[in-house]
């Protein structure tokens, strides 16, 4: 189900959004939707990485070499 939201963009961001939309031949909605999707993915990735890094550190895995030593 699609829901509508209203956002306010500063002028330069609004112009950039129009430019990308025109150059890629997609709607502003598609550009914004994809940008939000990518942003949320990166946030989840960073949160997961932080949790896993902390867990690894608790187990003495601090460097790439530590990882290689564990999997080799």
pLDDT band at 72 (very low <50, low <70, confident <90, very high): confident
CA–chain centroid gap for 65, Å, is 28
- Residue environment code for 26-60, b if the CB has 16+ CB neighbours within 10 A, otherwise e: eeeeebbeeeeeeeeeeeeeeeeeeeeeeeeeeee
Q: Can you read off the two tokens belonging to residue 42?
A: 């990166």
For the full predicted model, state whether its pTM sits above 0.85: no
Q: Per-domain residue ranges for the chain?
A: 11-71
pLDDT digits (tens, 9 = 90+) for 10-66: 999 999 999 999 999 999 999 999 999 999 999 999 999 999 999 999 999 999 898
- Per the listing, tokens 């960073």 go with 46
**Contact present, 23 and 30 (Cβ < 8 Å):** no
Question: In this predicted structure, what is the pLDDT of residue 1?
Answer: 87
Please give the pLDDT value at position 30: 96
């Amino acid at each position: 189900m699609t829901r509508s939201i209203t956002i306010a963009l500063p002028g330069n961001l609004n112009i950039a959004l129009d430019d990308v939309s025109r150059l890629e031949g997609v709607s502003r909605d598609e550009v914004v939707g994809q940008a939000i999707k990518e942003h949320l993915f990166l946030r989840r990735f960073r949160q997961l990485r932080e949790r896993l890094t902390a867990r690894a550190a608790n187990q003495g895995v601090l460097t790439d070499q530590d990882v290689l030593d564990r999997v080799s």
